[in-house]
Chain A
């Protein structure tokens, strides 16, 4: 966890920069630069990226957050031309935003001189994406290799609850990144950091004033205007990072945004003159309370009456609580259909959702909590941030985007998510498996809940095969999938026919023919999936001279190391811990004897987080292999990457190592 939370000891140093970081100061030297100094493969780079957040007061609208962004981008390569196209999304609802673009220009060298081409209105479009969102699209003119692009835009936002996240890192290098907030004394924001980088922070207090004009009308004298000047302090905080290298996505990464350096701010306190101090989401207790009071959460959770009759019938004569819980969970899963939308607030409202049998996550899972409570079960909602949404690092109402149900029993929490028909208690859809959630209890208290699966999901493979004297292999496989393995099987293949499954296996393992394909328990979630088929292959045994060579894994062998990178910056994410176990038995043809057998082997990480074992033996004409691979942790830290890669190298070796038979 420590690689996420760089809780910063903010060092306040006052620094003055020799170079002016401003628009309109393009130099020949910058234009002539052919490659980025420290990253020659960079297609483009931010020479600077500068943001200023100010609170502007107007009498009619109060304080409005205005974010001014100034960008100066150098294009090094043609592949970087996309950096000359901008798309700025903004919301258009009640607390809508506006976007203004200014000072946009492209700079080039023409005949040894700097040529500036301004963006005209032809290059600017506004596109209505849907009811809630629009996009400002900007296409810069005259962009070539070597061009420098400058752009300034201002987003005005009437909502002051949070300040948009600011990224200090990008997929191209950033030479200088500065972010300043000017926050009037009336507001306090909590500041949260993500990523590995630590900026320099400077703080300063400024004075500002507002002049308000009032109309005095007393129906006796003509209307009078009076001015009133209010002085207040503004806390300026400036964050600076220099020479920020690009961030690159890697395979087996949960969500690259979790590692991208950024800052987010959430309103924690309102201190208007002559008004009582109002606190906001400063800690989980407050957040939870706020969420609870939110119209689409608490009140929806407390609604009842819409399902009573149906539940009474279902729960008639049932007394045991676990049984009741199971019936309710299955009922909600089968009745309700997720519309694909996230959120911890209801979209349709539970009542309408129940009636129409469809709704968003909150509609479905808050309904589930409510029904469980109705049946006398101690159930509560658990707030979750999905994998796509990133990890919730700090107390904030925007940290979550999802909600599931939890039943607390004997210090254990059973988690339920009814949005997926194949989900089971504590088998949640993969999108939910994102570190910690937060349970919100009836009494207003809350607690952190580990969402990550604790136990290994198993897969047991049994293979019986026979090799003919012509080297043809035929045999049978029985593959059992448990827990998450079964869940994924059902989600991915649940609607495929047996014929399609046969083809899928034939496609995945080239040059085998599959017959008698069958699976069991596709709909009976309480049991593991049992898949079975017969196979036939001409391609698994090599005959060279009077010898036969084959790997006992036959076509099931792992031939490639999935870890190809030399080094690793981010943790490897296996999603859930698992154990694969193979029991293989191969009978060799008459007239052949075993000449060499691979050696048995077992490797274990010191902390037991990873281990594999390969045990091979013969008896008569049969060779037996018992193999298992255990990944006991969902996440492997980058420090252990080299060991992990080495382990998989060993595994691939063992998978591909051949048994040698010799003609008698």
Chain B
């Protein structure tokens, strides 16, 4: 402890124009390796004296070694009516530690945080737009903010980013014990982290953390880098007091403070819904009718003002305007269902293609998206209410397979969303093509998509013809001079099946030389992702979802040609998946290429990486293996 106090004093207490401790010569070589920036010293001091008061003091000294490290400077603080910037300033030093320039509050620009069109928010920030005049340099940034929102306490991540090393990073929280500070430590193993805890105070610090280079297929940072998340049992959110002793209590609070008074639906709409439902008694069918009604009536627009950032817009307002954000549209659907006696739950999730769980043992405000869950017998059906085109009950890879919070009137509960297995996520191709003696192919392709492959593809039918062509040409980029004609689609939203049909034509698919033609038999189902080879694999790797690819292609040879050589059939089965490709001659002029590739979902230790890489390399190579035919 003493050391820390000394350091703090040392860094903040004296102001000279030369700060020898910022000299970049003092950075050890091991911290410069792979680093674009070095966190020399970072101290965040958080004090929470009351449920509605939190002060965050930040002091950071970051050396930027080159221009790629410029993004690692975070020279900004946001503010709104419940968050005040008490002070903000920065000083820049050259590589010898000589002061170059000081920036006062007035040098920071005041800008709106919202950028794109449909996002409206009343949050603003002060930020410093700094143009470096020399590299390396060291930027010292100091700020103090006070907020009444104690629902979000900054988490501590001593490894701030890839390619950034840390000399020292520390955080201290001084909290009124009545508020009951909770915390959750993640991924500490393998990292030297110091922790000091007393009744009302907790602090963490870490020293000398080397810069890490990102490697392909590395799991998300929160699964591998150390981080500590904090929350309070008693907190305040936009002037509303809350508690989060357990998920059950938290859910209860959430429902009563943020949802219960938003449910009113105008009588006229209830009557409309009732007439749409008619005599239908089945809950699932009723939900389908209402989901369709919402999809047709509303559109997604993000509007976040004050508590609106957390509390959904009133259901009757969504009814009036026909738009809302994820909270508003989900809550509107829920309220409509409730108005006809069907129960459903507002569900908080971390959405994104990269799966992220809500931290189960840290009940607190988490997540970035809201969906609806509908209990039908013992199952939950998941409804994505922001999409106007998604099939009923089909959530896709935006919210699949992860821990989420369902908010019931009598409390919250953590559950897992639907898992799409490798069997579910199927693409099945049936194709045929005829090769002519100039190497040109003419053929047709029928692709059927299921599960998450459906999710990736079904938007195609709504695209313009140009985009459809662009997308197909990039899917089949292994075929040069590709022309695509007669595209048609069929989308079965009940079966979750999407079918694409089209004709193809490509000159020079086969290479003609000396009366022989060489061409890859497997034209339409080539896998070409081979992850990079690393001399040392540093991290485990993850395949977040499993998939199956199946195809059968019939190939007709030009008249008067015979096979000189064809590739051998291959089969590989291992812990990562199964692969089988067969090349069968069915008549003198016909061949069939049959292929099935199943990739499993999995989280694997780094030692297995090279085997996995080789597996995919072999597949890519085998998929592209060629036959040679000659003129008889």
Residue of A nearest to B481 (CB): A649
Within the complex, the shortest CB–CB distance from B388 to chain A, in Å, comes to 4
The 9 closest A-B pairs by CB, nearest first: A41-B464, A142-B322, A339-B131, A357-B133, A141-B321, A495-B66, A544-B565, A358-B131, A78-B388
Given A495-B66, A559-B480, residue A340 in contact with residue B131 (CB < 8 A):
yes
Contact B514 A596 (CB under 8 A): yes
Q: Which residues of B contact A337 (CB under 8 A)?
A: 131-133
Q: A85-B118, A143-B322, A560-B477 are in contact. Are A660 and B564 (CB under 8 A)?
A: no
Beta-carbon contact of A649 and B323 below 8 Å: no
User: Contact flags (1/0) for B292-329 with A, using CB distance below 8 Å?
Assistant: 00001101110100000000000001001111000000
Contacts of B281 in A (CB 8 A): none
Q: Is the beta-carbon distance between A657 and B465 smaller than 8 angstroms?
A: no
Whether, in the assembled complex, A338 has its beta carbon less than 8 Å from a beta carbon of chain B, the answer is: yes
CB-based nearest B residue for A497: B34
Query: Which of A78, A87, A131 is close to B389, meaning CB atoms less than 8 Å apart?
Result: A78
Which residues of chain A are near B477, meaning CB under 8 Å?
560
C-alpha gap A513/B530 in the complex (Å): 13
**Which of B132, B513, B533 is within 8 Å of A658, CB to CB?**
B513
Q: Give the CA-CA distance A125 to B320 in the complex, in Å.
A: 18
Asked whether any CB of chain B lies closer than 8 Å to the CB of A128, the reply is: yes
A317 within 8 A of B: no
A236 within 8 A of B: no
A539 and B117 contact, CB distance less than 8 A: no
Are the CB atoms of A660 and B301 closer together than 8 Å? no
Whether A137 contacts B117 by the Cβ 8 Å rule is yes
Contacts of B114 in A (CB 8 A): 127
Interface flags, A100-132, vs B, CB<8A=1, else 0: 000000000000000001000011010111110
CB neighbours of A561 from chain B (8 A):
480-481
B462's closest neighbor in chain A, by CB?
A79
Sample of 14 further A-B pairs with CB below 8 A, known A125-B120, A248-B466: A41-B465, A78-B389, A81-B299, A85-B301, A127-B112, A139-B301, A142-B322, A338-B131, A339-B131, A539-B621, A547-B565, A560-B480, A564-B473, A660-B513
Smallest CB separation, B73 vs chain A (Å): 15
Q: Does B129 contact A (CB under 8 A)?
A: yes
Which residues of chain B are near A498, meaning CB under 8 Å? none
Q: What's the Cα separation between A657 and B519 when bound, in Å? A: 11
Query: Once the chains bind, are A122 and B532 in contact (CB under 8 Å)?
Result: no
Which residues does chain B contribute within 8 Å of A125, judged by CB atoms? 120
Q: How far is the CA of A596 from the CA of B511 in the complex (A)?
A: 12
Stretch at the interface among A214-222, A504-512, A616-624: A504-512
CA gap between A142 and B66 in the complex, in Å: 51
Q: How far is the CB of A341 from chain B (nearest CB, A)?
A: 9
- Report the Cα distance A85→B303, complex, angstroms: 12
Q: How far is the CA of A542 from the CA of B101 in the complex (A)?
A: 62
Question: Which chain A residues border B112 with CB–CB below 8 Å?
Answer: 127-130
A137, B120: Cβ atoms closer than 8 Å: yes
The number of residues on chain A lying at the interface, defined by a beta carbon within 8 Å of a beta carbon of chain B, is 63
- Note all chain B residues with C-beta closer than 8 A to A545: 564-565, 628
**Is the Cβ of A127 less than 8 Å from the Cβ of B120?**
yes
Q: Which residues of A contact B572 (CB under 8 A)?
A: none
Contacts of B421 in A (CB 8 A): none
Once the chains bind, are B317 and A122 in contact (CB under 8 Å)? Answer: yes
A285 within 8 A of B: no
30 A-B contacts (beta carbon < 8 Å): A79-B462, A81-B299, A81-B388, A123-B321, A131-B109, A139-B303, A141-B322, A142-B321, A142-B322, A143-B322, A145-B296, A356-B133, A506-B532, A506-B533, A511-B530, A539-B621, A544-B567, A545-B565, A547-B628, A549-B518, A560-B480, A561-B481, A564-B470, A564-B482, A566-B483, A649-B507, A656-B480, A657-B513, A658-B513, A658-B518
**A653: Cβ under 8 A from any B Cβ:** yes
Is A503 engaged at the interface, CB distance under 8 Å to the other chain? yes
Residues of A within 8 A of B462 (CB): 77-79
**Whole-angstrom distance between the alpha carbons of A41 and B463 in the complex?**
8
Q: A560-B477, A564-B473, A657-B513 in contact; A510/B133 too (CB < 8 A)?
A: no
Which of chain A's residues have a CB closer than 8 A to the CB of B36? Answer: 495
Q: How far in angstroms is the closest Cβ of chain B from A100?
A: 19
Contact of B110 among A130, A549, A559 (CB under 8 A): A130
B511 and A657 within 8 A (CB): yes
* Closest partner residue, chain B, to A513 (CB atom): B533
Determine whether A598 belongs to the interface, using a CB cutoff of 8 Å to chain B. yes
Quick check: A544 and B323 within 8 Å, CB to CB?
A: no
B110: chain A residues at CB < 8 Å are 130-131
- Bound complex: CA A143 to CA B36 (Å): 48
Instruction: Check B508–A649 contact: CB distance below 8 A.
Output: yes
Chain B residues closer than 8 Å to A340, beta-carbon distance: 131
Q: How many A-B residue pairs have CB under 8 A?
A: 133
Closest CB in chain A relative to B229 CB, distance in Å: 32
- Cα-based distance from A357 to B462 in the complex (angstroms): 53
Residues of B within 8 A of A269 (CB): none
Residues from 66 to 103 in A contacting B, C-beta threshold 8 Å = 77-79, 81-82, 84-85, 87
Q: Is B626 an interface residue (CB 8 A)?
A: yes
Chain A min CB distance to B43 (Å):
29
B-side contacts of A566, CB under 8 Å:
483
Q: A82 to B118, Cβ gap below 8 A?
A: yes
Question: Which residue of chain B has the shortest Cβ distance to A507 in the bound complex?
Answer: B532
- List residues of A (538-586) whose CB comes within 8 Å of B's CBs: 539, 542, 544-545, 547, 549, 559-561, 564, 566
Q: In the complex, what distance in Å separates the CA atom of A657 from the CA atom of B530?
A: 24
Q: Is B559 an interface residue (CB 8 A)?
A: no
Chain A residues with CB below 8 A from B464, complex form: 41
B625 lies within 8 A of chain A by Cβ: yes
Q: Tell me the B576-632 residues at the A interface (CB within 8 Å).
A: 617, 620-621, 625-626, 628
Task: List chain A residues, Cβ under 8 A from B625.
Answer: 542
With the chains together, A503 CA to B126 CA distance in Å?
38
- B546-579 Cβ-contact flags toward A at 8 Å (1 or 0): 0000000000000000001101000000000000
Nearest Cβ on chain A to B614's Cβ, whole angstroms: 11
Contact A495 B513 (CB under 8 A): no
Q: What chain B residues lie within 8 Å of A539 (beta carbons)?
A: 617, 621
Within 8 A of A (CB), among B112-156: 112, 114, 117-118, 120, 129, 131-134
Residues of B within 8 A of A79 (CB): 462
**Could you say which of B511, B528, B530 contacts A656, with CB atoms under 8 Å apart?**
B511
Q: Is A351 an interface residue (CB 8 A)?
A: no
In the complex the two chains form, is B117's CB within 8 Å of A87's CB? yes
The answer to whether A303 has its CB under 8 Å from any CB of chain B is no
Cβ of A133 to closest chain B Cβ, rounded Å: 10
* Contact partner, B626, options A144, A506, A544, Cβ 8 Å: A544
Least Cβ–Cβ distance between A357 and chain B, in angstroms = 4
Q: Decide yes or no whether A253 CB sits under 8 A from chain B.
A: no
**Are the CB atoms of B511 and A130 closer together than 8 Å?**
no
> Which residues of A lie under 8 Å from residue B129 when comparing CB positions?
339
A142 to B321, alpha carbons, bound, how many Å?
5
- The reply to whether B301 and A503 contact each other, CB–CB distance below 8 Å, is no
In whole angstroms, how far apart are the Cα atoms of A125 and B305 in the complex?
11
Contacts of B300 in A (CB 8 A): 81
What chain A residues lie within 8 Å of B67 (beta carbons)? 495
In Å, the complex CA distance between A28 and B470 comes to: 36
B4 is an interface residue with CB less than 8 A from chain A: no
A144 to B388, CA, bound (A): 10
Interface assignment of A652: CB less than 8 Å from any CB of chain B: yes
Question: Which A residues lie within 8 Å of B133 (CB)?
Answer: 337, 356-358
A81 to B301, CA, bound (A): 10
A residues near B120, Cβ cutoff 8 Å: 125, 127, 137, 139
B530 surroundings in chain A (CB, below 8 A): 510-511
* Chain A CB within 8 A of B240 CB: no
Interface of chain B residues 485 through 501 with chain A (CB within 8 A): none
Pick the residue among B66, B322, B466, B508 that contacts A653 (CB under 8 A): B508
A142-B321, A507-B532 as given contacts; A129 in contact with B132, CB under 8 Å: no
The residues of A that contact B481 with a CB separation of less than 8 Å are 561, 649
B111 at the interface (CB under 8 A from A): yes
Residues of chain B within 8 A (CB-CB) of A559 are 480
Compute how far the CA of A141 lies from the CA of B620 in the bound complex, rounded to whole angstroms.
Answer: 51
